[in-house]
Amino acid sequence: DVKVTQSSRYLVKRTGEKVFLECVQDMDHENMFWYRQDPGLGLRLIYFSYDVKMKEKGDIPEGYSVSREKKERFSLILESASTNQTSMYLCASSFDGGDQPQHFGDGTRLSIL
Amino acid sequence: AQSVTQPDIHITVSEGASLELRCNYSYGATPYLFWYVQSPGQGLQLLLKYFSGDTLVQGIKGFEAEFKRSQSSFNLRKPSVHWSDAAEYFCAVGVNNNDMRFGAGTRLTVKP
C-alpha cells in the first residue's frame, strides 16, 4: 500500500515565523503535490513537483515555496507565516499521467497565531 | 475555464437508504474523473475513477458512479448507506498531473 506521511498532524506557529511542512512517500512516485484545504473551497493546489528539483506553481503559490531534493520528500515552506495561512495542508503523490490517482497524507492542521 | 461543481454542501440520509452525490464539470475535453472520500482527521482516499469505456464504474466500499457526457456529470451512488460512510466526498477532474480540479466537497451525515 502507498504511504504518504506528513511530519505533523497539528502545528501552531506565530506570525512571521518560517514554517516547514514535510512530506515523504514510499512508492517511488514521480509527482508530488501540496494542497491547501479550506471549508467550502475544496482543495487548491499550491505547488506541484514532477521530478527532483523540479517544481511548478499551482493556483495559490503566493507566500509559499517548496523544496524537493530527494524523490521521496517534498517540503512546503512558509517564508513568513501569516494568519491567513491558517489551514489544513494536504500532501499527495502519484505516478506520472493525468489518469493516475493521487495518494494523500493525513494532513497537517496549521494554526498561525 | 475548468471547474467542478458539487451542488450539495451537506446531505443527510438514513442508514440503509440509497445515496446519490452529484458532480458536474466544465472542461474543454473529456477529462479523467475521480471520486475521493475523506473521513474525519484523514487524507483523501480514492473511491473510483473513470477514463473511458463503460460509463458505469464500480469502486470500493460498494460505491459506483455513472459518467454522462451529455450532462457533463459524474454522479456517485450507493444502494444502501452504512453508518461508516459518513464522511466528506470530493469529485475531481483533470487531464494532466498539474490541472486536477477538486469540487468543494459534499459532507454526508448518516442517521441511525
* Segment A16-52, tens digit of pLDDT: 999 999 999 999 999 999 999 998 888 999 999 999 9
A40 at interface of B, judged by CB pairs closer than 8 A: yes
Other Cβ atoms closer than 10 A to B111: 12
Please tell me which residue of chain A has the smallest CA distance to B103.
Answer: A42
Angstrom distance (rounded) from CA B80 to CA A100: 29
Angstrom distance (rounded) from CA A39 to CA A50: 28
- Residues sharing a CB contact under 8 Å with residue A62, sequence separation 6 or more, in sequence order: none
Report which of B28, B86, B23, B15 is spatially closest to residue B50, judged by C-alpha positions.
Answer: B23
Whether the CB-CB separation of A52 and A75 falls below 8 Å is answered with no
Please identify among residues 2-61 of chain B the ones whose CB lies closer than 8 Å to any CB of chain A: 4, 9, 31-32, 34, 36, 41-46, 49, 51
Q: pLDDT of A52-104, one tens digit each? A: 999 999 999 999 999 999 999 999 999 999 999 999 999 999 998 888 899 99
Whether the CB-CB separation of B47 and B37 falls below 8 Å is answered with yes
- Predicted local distance difference test score (pLDDT) of residue B42: 87
Regions in chain B scoring below 50 on pLDDT: none
- Predicted local distance difference test score (pLDDT) of residue A11: 97
- What are residue B32's DSSP bridge partners? B94
- Predicted local distance difference test score (pLDDT) of residue B2: 82
| CB < 8 Å to B45, chain A | 104
